[in-house]
A and B are shown apart, each in its own frame.
Chain A
Amino acid sequence: MTAMILSWSVFLAQVMLALAMGCAVWRVAVGPRAQDRVLALDTFYVLAAMLLLVFGIRTGSVVYFEAALVIALLGFVATAALSKFLMRGEVIE
């Protein structure tokens, strides 16, 4: 019973995360402001990291945590570059 509840909740979490990714992409594509898009992309990265974590829970493997860690640690670099571009008009001064 417990196992079934867990597997269903993990599955539902995954579906919801995937739907949330869809929402984030909608924001990236539509905007309206460039800042909205950048924030949406960052959300997208966070969602991807979480999706991988949940995937790890579902399969019971820790190999995938690594990928989530890397996304968490380095995913923001793209966001930083994009924000810097918006803020100053160039990435490296």
Chain B
Amino acid sequence: MSDSLLLLSLVALPFLGALAASLLATHARNAAAYLAGGVALAGLALVWTAYPTISQGGVLRAEFAWVPQLGLNFVLRMDGLAWLFAGMVTGIGALVVVYARYYMSTEDPVPRFFAFLLAFMGAMCGLVLSGNLIQLAFFWEMTSLFSFLLIGYWHHTQAARDGARIALTVTATGGLCLFAGLLLIGHIVGSHDLDVVLASGDAIRNHPLYLPALVLVLLGALTKSAQFPFHFWLPHAMAAPTPVSAYLHSATLVKVGLFLMVRLWPVMAGTDAWFWIVGTAGLITLLVGAYVAIFQHDLKGLLAYSTISHLGLITLLLGLNSHLALVAAIFHILNHATFKASLFMAAGIIDHESGTRDIRRLSGLNRTMPFTGRLALVAAAAMAGVPLLNGFISKEMFFEEALSADGLLVLPLVAMLASAFSVTYSLRFIHGTFFGPDPQDLPRQPHEPPAWMRFPVEILVLGCIFVGVLPAATVGPFLDLAARSVLGEATPYYSLAVWHGVNLPLVMSMIALGGGVVLYMALQKHLRSGIEGPPLIRRLEGRRIFERALVFLSWRLARRLEGVLGTRRLQQQLRMVLLLALAAGGFAAWHRGVGPGNLVPQGVDPVIALVWVVGAACALGAAWQAKFHRFAAIMLLGGAGLVVCITFVWFSAPDLALTQLLVEVVTTVLLVLGLRWLPKRMDKPGATGVEVVTISRRLRDLAIAIAAGLGMAALAFAVMTRTPPDLLAQHFLARAYTEGGGTNVVNVILVDFRAFDTLGEIFVLGAVALTVFALLRRFRPAPESVEVPEQQRDQSARDAERPDRRDGDTVADWLLVPSVLTRLLFPVICILAVHLLLRGHDQPGGGFAAGLVASIAIILQYMIGGAAWTEEKLRVLPLRWMGTGLLLAGGVGLASLFFGMPFLTTYFAYADLPWIGRVPTASALLFDIGVFALVVGATVLMLIALAHQSVRGHRAERRAETAPRALVPGED
């Protein structure tokens, strides 16, 4: 199997599996489990296939072009360290899948769980195999995202939602910092390729930007690995299902930060800054985590804090700037993954079979669950560092490093103290749960779990024992590979052995063991009292600080800023926008100066000048009447629009004129539709006269309006009196037919040269239409405009007076001629739409104009025939139109990929059609049809949504008549 295939499938398989799992039925528990397990095992097999190469010290590498223009490649790269991590991710992943199959309840949507788990696994594989810094940051954020989904899997509980939110906020913020840091490193090195970066350690360390880069990268790593002061998210993430905790918090998510530190160790470590930041964070985390863990009453809480503490230990090792410490760190990453995963699973079994995780309620489970008890005992002993288990060996290495670090006496002491604490909490876990009297009133009668649920724990515990007894023979070669891939030639000599003779680390171990036992016995009374929280530092709760900061940022600060800067008055907003535009335009003109244009002035045609006078009168009249006579204002606005349209025609822009005209018509209809819901007439100013303040405000607004209008006019004049030497239009004109296959340059620009913009615009248009629809669904008219309009009441009353007439006869009579005419016109207008659509590529027209024409045809039927009649005869499904349009436009763009061309390339040819002859056809026409469908759907959706308000209003009216109290209009 080739390297690239192997690496690519290792990353892609989990994602494909996730996709497949998400398509399974909600309760297909077994199918999803088999799928997930199969994918995890296949991943493990792939990792194993790579072993022969890796064991020779080789590096698997695969490159795929990503953004070749920027020199960015999608690089997958597997060396010893990545191999070890990939093995851990897939191996423990497979065990977790087996465990989760039995842990998850049948009521849960299990396929979704496995889909998230697999996607997370894929993100992890992508992360550890990344051979490129940007790609690494990408997968990093992806792990944050999928861990968010996994932690929040039981989203019906508040704790899960909170835990997921906190975890995402902390780790994703850290991820952003990391991204910035990695970009800095990329800037320093001049490449984002990991191999290049790893080879330029001195350049990075001696660069002035080293410190900012280091701090940013470490912010990412320390938040992810839950180091003090960012550790608080991890305990809250325990609201996740236990398999998730076992996976995320033993082997994967929290180890990612450590992985990154190990990965960048050769290039970033070795400085005082690294020592102080990483070492201090690790030291504090190690001690505080272990201390707090002792006082947790929740089994998973205890394990969470012990995880934090162990992560602190590894971080501290990494911070010591010693090669041996790095080896010890990698070793402990492995050991911690095995014993912590098994302990989480054991805690989950206890919770699953007894119904509680509270140590205060549990006791004496050894009698009912003897086998699980033995397994947990061994794993906890490994965690405490009891000899002949894997935790002991890495702890010995840690002690040795702590002793040999630069004469700091505090380090060995703290190491010993934290170790004693870990003995205490391990004892508490085992003794509190499995020993003592029989448990009283547990939610469930405890019993042994199904054999397969225990199976993953057995495997992991066996691993703990084997590594503990025969370290060099079992884990030795793998550890060596990983260490060698990081340190290369500098890998120091180390010996993995259980017995190194009586030396200081052994003495320290014994003291810690003894001290831990003594401490546990001394604390018995305190722990039994059941007080929540650790003594001394109870008030130091990270979460509270975090929540307070969030409340400040997202609520108080936002509120205050809104109060200072924001306003809900449209006039003020408009004023601000105009003033800002004036200031920006004025500054630009003042800064750069405006000279006369380079075009020769021409005489003004008196006809167009007259038309413009008329248009200006329309615009002024519209502004004048806008407040007290909206109906007239709308019409005057329409007149101004028409003058603009004539102007476009005059200056040879038929496309623009066409579009302008159609938009004008649709806008007028839209405004009149809205007019129905506005109160009839605002009060005229009273007889007392206008106040001075009002007058001054109006004068100021008038001045702003005049300035803005004049500025706009000046801008238009300045642009139109000059033409740059190398106009982009020349380029379009020259290429429209040869490359786009159309003679209408405007349309070729829209559907070919700038088709990507058009694609974006139609998506925006679709989103806007959906938003308008959604907002109007909740629209409640003002009480004064709810009732049926006056005219309709009069006409109904007239019908009611005459016994020979039925209700609605008057309107039917009056609308007889218009309705016949509009029905006759419907096909004509539709033909116009098709005409505009089909010839758009060569002559004025196109999908947008055609779509507007078609929607006008439909609106006309709605207006004259009424909503009920029209929907009975002509069922328009706007959402289908929109969906079809988007799919078609996007699909045409994608289709060009199949022919090896870039996205949205147009194909152009002449087609021989029977009876019609040779017809120029371009694939852009299909794109244009997509635009057409979308425009029809979006316009009709918005107008119908507005129109249905009336229908709904009538219904409410009737309901109000039958039941006078129910005045609220109902939902459609």
* Chain A residues close to B by CB (< 8 Å): 11, 14-15, 18-19, 21-22, 25, 28-29, 31, 34, 37-38, 40-41, 44-45, 48, 51-52, 55, 63-64, 66-67, 69-71, 73-75, 77-78, 80-82, 84-93
B627 to chain A, nearest CB (A): 15
> Is A71 within 8 A of B947, CB to CB?
no
8 new A-B contacts at CB < 8 Å, known A18-B610, A21-B611, A75-B661 = A18-B614, A25-B617, A31-B632, A48-B643, A67-B654, A77-B665, A91-B673, A91-B863
For chain B, residues 807 to 834, give those with C-beta under 8 angstroms from any C-beta of chain A: 811, 814, 818, 822, 825, 828-829, 832
Complex interface: stretch among B107-115, B187-195, B263-271, B852-860: B852-860
Asked whether any CB of chain A lies closer than 8 Å to the CB of B95, the reply is: no
Q: A66-B654, A85-B672, A92-B863 are in contact. Are A74 and B635 (CB under 8 A)?
A: no
The complex places the Cα of A84 from the Cα of B795 at a distance, in Å, of 14
> Is B654 within 8 A of A64, CB to CB?
yes
> Is A28 within 8 A of B635, CB to CB?
yes
> Is B818 within 8 A of A80, CB to CB?
yes
> Is B864 within 8 A of A80, CB to CB?
yes
> Is B672 within 8 A of A81, CB to CB?
yes
> Is A55 within 8 A of B650, CB to CB?
yes
Which residues of chain B come closer than 8 Å to A66, judged between CB atoms? 654, 658, 844
Asked whether any CB of chain A lies closer than 8 Å to the CB of B625, the reply is: yes
The complex places the Cα of A13 from the Cα of B844 at a distance, in Å, of 27
> Is A89 within 8 A of B668, CB to CB?
no
Give the top 5 A-B pairs by smallest Cβ distance, nearest first: A89-B789, A92-B947, A18-B610, A78-B668, A14-B607
Considering only CB atoms, which chain B residue lies closest to A61 in the complex?
B652
The complex places the Cα of A29 from the Cα of B856 at a distance, in Å, of 26
Which residues of chain B come closer than 8 Å to A92, judged between CB atoms? 673, 859, 862-863, 866-867, 943, 946-947, 950
For chain B, residues 603 to 653, give those with C-beta under 8 angstroms from any C-beta of chain A: 606-607, 610-611, 613-614, 617-618, 621, 625, 631-632, 634-636, 638-639, 642-643, 645-646, 649-650
Asked whether any CB of chain A lies closer than 8 Å to the CB of B489, the reply is: no
Considering only CB atoms, which chain A residue lies closest to B612 in the complex?
A18
> Is B613 within 8 A of A22, CB to CB?
yes
Which residues of chain B come closer than 8 Å to A85, judged between CB atoms? 631, 672, 675-676
Considering only CB atoms, which chain B residue lies closest to A26 in the complex?
B617
For chain B, residues 939 to 963, give those with C-beta under 8 angstroms from any C-beta of chain A: 943, 946-947, 950-951, 954
> Is B669 within 8 A of A81, CB to CB?
yes
Q: Which of A21, A29, A71, A81 contacts B636 (CB 8 A)?
A: A29
Asked whether any CB of chain A lies closer than 8 Å to the CB of B694, the reply is: no
Task: Mark each residue of chain B from 663 to 701: 1 if its CB lies under 8 Å from any CB of chain A, else 0.
Answer: 011001100110110000000000000000000000000
B945 to chain A, nearest CB (A): 11
Considering only CB atoms, which chain A residue lies closest to B860 in the complex?
A77
> Is A45 within 8 A of B642, CB to CB?
yes
A47 to chain B, nearest CB (A): 9
Q: A41-B639, A92-B673 are in contact. Are A51 and B611 (CB under 8 A)?
A: yes
Which residues of chain A come closer than 8 Å to B863, judged between CB atoms? 77, 80-81, 84, 91-92
A–B pairs, 24, beta carbons within 8 Å: A18-B607, A21-B614, A25-B614, A25-B639, A28-B636, A29-B632, A31-B632, A51-B607, A64-B649, A66-B844, A67-B654, A71-B642, A75-B661, A78-B668, A78-B669, A80-B863, A81-B668, A82-B634, A82-B635, A84-B863, A85-B672, A90-B676, A92-B867, A92-B950
The complex places the Cα of A84 from the Cα of B664 at a distance, in Å, of 18
> Is B657 within 8 A of A67, CB to CB?
yes
Asked whether any CB of chain A lies closer than 8 Å to the CB of B792, the reply is: yes
Q: How large is the interface on B (under 10, 10 to 19, 20 to 34, 35 or more residues)?
A: 35 or more
Which residues of chain A come closer than 8 Å to B672, judged between CB atoms? 81-82, 85, 91
The complex places the Cα of A37 from the Cα of B632 at a distance, in Å, of 7
Considering only CB atoms, which chain B residue lies closest to A44 in the complex?
B639
Which residues of chain A come closer than 8 Å to B954, judged between CB atoms? 93
Which residues of chain A come closer than 8 Å to B610, judged between CB atoms? 15, 18-19, 21-22
Which residues of chain A come closer than 8 Å to B950, judged between CB atoms? 90, 92-93
B714 to chain A, nearest CB (A): 25
Q: Which of B642, B662, B676, B792 contacts A91 (CB 8 A)?
A: B676
Which residues of chain B come closer than 8 Å to A19, judged between CB atoms? 610
Decide if the interface of chain B is mainly helix, strand, loop or mixed: helix
> Is B789 within 8 A of A90, CB to CB?
yes
Point out which of A15, A38, A81 has the most chain B C-beta atoms below 10 A from its C-beta: A81
> Is B661 within 8 A of A89, CB to CB?
no
The complex places the Cα of A18 from the Cα of B643 at a distance, in Å, of 10
Which residues of chain A come closer than 8 Å to B947, judged between CB atoms? 91-92
The complex places the Cα of A41 from the Cα of B636 at a distance, in Å, of 8
Point out which of A41, A66, A82, A92 has the most chain B C-beta atoms below 10 A from its C-beta: A92
The complex places the Cα of A34 from the Cα of B657 at a distance, in Å, of 28
Asked whether any CB of chain A lies closer than 8 Å to the CB of B532, the reply is: no
Which residues of chain B come closer than 8 Å to A15, judged between CB atoms? 606-607, 610
Asked whether any CB of chain A lies closer than 8 Å to the CB of B441, the reply is: no
Which residues of chain A come closer than 8 Å to B818, judged between CB atoms? 80
> Is B654 within 8 A of A28, CB to CB?
no
B351 to chain A, nearest CB (A): 60
A87 to chain B, nearest CB (A): 6
> Is B867 within 8 A of A93, CB to CB?
yes
The complex places the Cα of A15 from the Cα of B611 at a distance, in Å, of 9
Q: A22-B617, A29-B617, A74-B665 are in contact. Are A48 and B642 (CB under 8 A)?
A: yes
The complex places the Cα of A42 from the Cα of B933 at a distance, in Å, of 30
Considering only CB atoms, which chain A residue lies closest to B787 in the complex?
A89
Q: Which of A52, A69, A78 contacts B646 (CB 8 A)?
A: A52
> Is A82 within 8 A of B668, CB to CB?
yes
> Is A88 within 8 A of B791, CB to CB?
yes
Which residues of chain A come closer than 8 Å to B657, judged between CB atoms? 67
For chain B, residues 772 to 792, give those with C-beta under 8 angstroms from any C-beta of chain A: 788-792
Which residues of chain A come closer than 8 Å to B946, judged between CB atoms? 92
Q: A85-B676, A93-B951 are in contact. Are A48 and B645 (CB under 8 A)?
A: yes
> Is A25 within 8 A of B862, CB to CB?
no
Which residues of chain A come closer than 8 Å to B645, judged between CB atoms? 48, 67
For chain B, residues 843 to 873, give those with C-beta under 8 angstroms from any C-beta of chain A: 843-844, 853, 856, 859-860, 862-864, 866-868
Q: Which of A28, A67, A69, A70 contacts B621 (CB 8 A)?
A: A28
B946 to chain A, nearest CB (A): 8
Which residues of chain B come closer than 8 Å to A51, judged between CB atoms? 607, 611, 646
B432 to chain A, nearest CB (A): 72
Which residues of chain A come closer than 8 Å to B825, judged between CB atoms? 73
Q: Which of A22, A34, A86 contacts B614 (CB 8 A)?
A: A22
The complex places the Cα of A12 from the Cα of B672 at a distance, in Å, of 36
Q: Which of B650, B662, B822 contacts A70 (CB 8 A)?
A: B662
B746 to chain A, nearest CB (A): 13
The complex places the Cα of A64 from the Cα of B651 at a distance, in Å, of 11
The complex places the Cα of A31 from the Cα of B868 at a distance, in Å, of 34
A78 to chain B, nearest CB (A): 4
The complex places the Cα of A21 from the Cα of B615 at a distance, in Å, of 9
The complex places the Cα of A17 from the Cα of B69 at a distance, in Å, of 58
Which residues of chain B come closer than 8 Å to A37, judged between CB atoms? 631-632, 635
> Is A67 within 8 A of B649, CB to CB?
yes
Point out which of B625, B844, B946, B954 has the most chain A C-beta atoms below 10 A from its C-beta: B844
Considering only CB atoms, which chain B residue lies closest to A89 in the complex?
B789
Which residues of chain B come closer than 8 Å to A22, judged between CB atoms? 610, 613-614, 617
Considering only CB atoms, which chain A residue lies closest to B861 in the complex?
A92
A76 to chain B, nearest CB (A): 9
Considering only CB atoms, which chain A residue lies closest to B675 in the complex?
A85
Point out which of B635, B638, B862 has the most chain A C-beta atoms below 10 A from its C-beta: B635
A16 to chain B, nearest CB (A): 10
A45 to chain B, nearest CB (A): 7
A1 to chain B, nearest CB (A): 23
Which residues of chain A come closer than 8 Å to B862, judged between CB atoms? 92
> Is B658 within 8 A of A70, CB to CB?
yes
The complex places the Cα of A28 from the Cα of B607 at a distance, in Å, of 21
Which residues of chain A come closer than 8 Å to B859, judged between CB atoms? 77, 92
Q: Which of B668, B673, B814, B828 contacts A87 (CB 8 A)?
A: B814
> Is B658 within 8 A of A91, CB to CB?
no
The complex places the Cα of A44 from the Cα of B635 at a distance, in Å, of 10
